[in-house]
């Protein structure tokens, strides 16, 4: 039914979305139940099938919570960051994350740390703010900057790291 859109494309004026919630423990065990926004209990095997096989134009949300129902991951199937993801970035980044840049969040774009065209996902842990000037500087060419996420144990674990172009003068 979701693929055929027999019931339409909107509900109460909003686009139809597939919203699935589960705990990290159930997901790791590949057992237990997930819950849809409509209150339907769904076996984890079905959740994994739905999350991976849905119409391209269906907005899909997967919320994974810890044992206390606090969200650990909220991913989207679309390229564009949601309002909630932008608000979460505002709470953590406040503005452009390029070192020394003072551009506020209102003058930034959401940047995929791993480029969307190269398999990047629109998951909050892989998004950051970049102002127009610095966003244009991120590319794979010889003068392009790169971004990564600082790994666990790093001084700024989980934060965006900016890497200068290979041809940049290190001084």
pLDDT in tens, 104-152: 988 999 999 988 888 888 888 899 999 999 999 999 888 899 999 999 8
My answer on whether 65 and 102 are in the same domain is: no
Strands (E), 50-150: 59-65, 71-76, 108-112, 122-123, 127-131, 146-149
My answer on whether 68 and 116 are in the same domain is: no
My answer on whether 122 and 159 are in the same domain is: yes
Distance CA 66, CA 140 (A): 37
Structure tokens at 8: 């339409």
Q: Answer yes or no: is pLDDT of 2 > 60.
A: no
My answer on whether 60 and 89 are in the same domain is: no
**Average pLDDT for 94-100:** 94
Give the structural domain span for 118: 83-163
Classify burial at 46, counting beta carbons within 10 Å of its beta carbon; exposed 0-12, middle 13-18, buried 19 or more: middle
Domain assignment present for residue 3? The answer is no
Structure confidence at residue 1 (pLDDT): 58
The domain boundary residue, chosen from 56, 76, 96: 76
Domain assignment present for residue 4? The answer is no
Q: Answer yes or no: is pLDDT of 100 > 70.
A: yes
My answer on whether 37 and 98 are in the same domain is: no
Structure confidence at residue 43 (pLDDT): 92
């Amino acid at each position: 039914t979701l693929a055929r859109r027999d019931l339409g494309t909107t509900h109460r004026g909003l686009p139809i979305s597939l919203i699935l919630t589960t705990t990290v423990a159930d997901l790791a065990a590949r057992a237990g139940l997930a819950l849809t926004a409509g209150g339907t209990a769904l076996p984890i095997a079905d959740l994994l099938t739905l999350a991976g096989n849905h119409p391209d134009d269906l907005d899909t949300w997967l919320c994974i919570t810890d044992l206390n129902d606090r969200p650990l991951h909220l991913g989207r199937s679309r390229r564009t960051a949601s309002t909630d993801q932008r608000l979460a970035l505002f709470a953590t980044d406040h503005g452009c994350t390029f070192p020394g840049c003072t551009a506020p969040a209102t003058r930034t774009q959401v940047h995929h740390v791993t480029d969307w065209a190269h398999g990047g996902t629109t998951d909050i842990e892989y998004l950051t703010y970049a102002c127009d000037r610095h966003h244009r500087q991120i590319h794979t060419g010889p003068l392009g900057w790169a971004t990564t996420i600082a790994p666990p144990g790093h001084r700024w674990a989980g934060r965006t790291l900016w890497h200068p172009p290979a041809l940049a003068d290190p001084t």
